[in-house]
Amino acid sequence: MTYREIGSSKIKASVIGLGAWAIGGGTWWGSTDDAESVKTIQAAVDSGINLIDTAPAYGFGRSEEVVGKAIKDRRSKVVLSTKCGLWWDDDQGAPFFEIDGRKVNRSLKANTIRQELEMSLKRMDTDYIDIYHTHWQAIEPCLTPIAETMECLMALKKEGKIRSIAVSNATPEQMDEYRACGELDANQPRYSMLDRAIEADLVPYCVKNNISILAYSPLEQGLLTGKIGMDYKINEGEARNGISWFEPDKRKLVIDMLGGWADLTKKYDCTMSQLVIAWTVAQPGITHALCGARKMYQIEDNCKAGDLVLETADIARIRADVERLG
């Protein structure tokens, strides 16, 4: 497994991280087996994946609780990443979405951040978080100034409750404001070979300012594993709903493209998932890839991508293929 530093934090995290969104279950991801999820997380850590990323909103605390159970006897081996900014305990914040009977708001006020952190620490039975992200940025009518949010985060860092500060779904302009008030080590945006929008401005910004990029959904919700065919049915409310690449016409283009890389999987003796993940973390500025997993075999698959090195010509060939898709 390859490890890279998170910004300037001195924290070394595996280039392959375990994304724990699906572990929270609920409407987005359907039923999930907590006992199996615990074993999966433990297998990840034992295999060298030390970066575990979760959030309070993943199953409304369920993901964090499961992660906490899994890492209880190996906390020192884990780079634990979680988030703040999605609030549902009362009406504070700006309305964002409703799911599973809860109204979720965006709030990056100091009082809600502190409450969220304490609840996360309790759920995961730990006294510190390694990487603490603002999950989604504040918006009107609760547009808390970034300076106020960062003042709170810097205070939490000084208190030893968090080790590094990160953002998620933030623009370069917003990151400028964060950096003007303190230390920013990472950004967690959506990125896959099918969704490369951040390459235009966010990636160059992060490279210039030594900000790590922890890419979420690098396998495009499983479509890039090569295991989703034309017969796959998406249930109403699933996280995959609304992703245009799952539409039949576009899905066929992706499936055909993956089929054209059979010689590459043979050349590197790897699965399609491993090939895609290795390509992702080989892109300039993409320092880590957060890959979801709820089952042991998924960890085994993802982990092997952590030391797979692709030749420059093959990286260029894959990019050319995905760019032809549009």
Of 9, 46, 67, 3, nearest to 294 by C-alpha is: 67
Left, alpha or beta for 229 (phi > 0: left; psi -120 to 50: alpha)? beta
> In sequence order, what E strands does 111-235 have?
129-134, 162-168, 186-188, 212-216
Distance CA 44, CA 51 (A): 9
Catalytic, out of 3, 58, 128, 205: 58
| Omega before residue 141 within 30° of 0, cis | yes
According to DSSP, residue 195 is labeled B
Distance CA 271, CA 150 (A): 42
Q: How does DSSP assign 39-94, residue by residue?
A: HHHHHHHHTT--EEE--TTTTTTHHHHHHHHHHTT-GGG-EEEEEE-EE-SSS-SE
Residues across the chain: 326
What proportions of the chain, in percent to the nearest 5, are helix, strand and coil? Answer: 45, 20, 40
58 catalytic per annotation? yes
CB-CB contact of 255 with 231 (8 Å):
no
Q: Looking at the annotation, which residues are catalytic?
A: 58
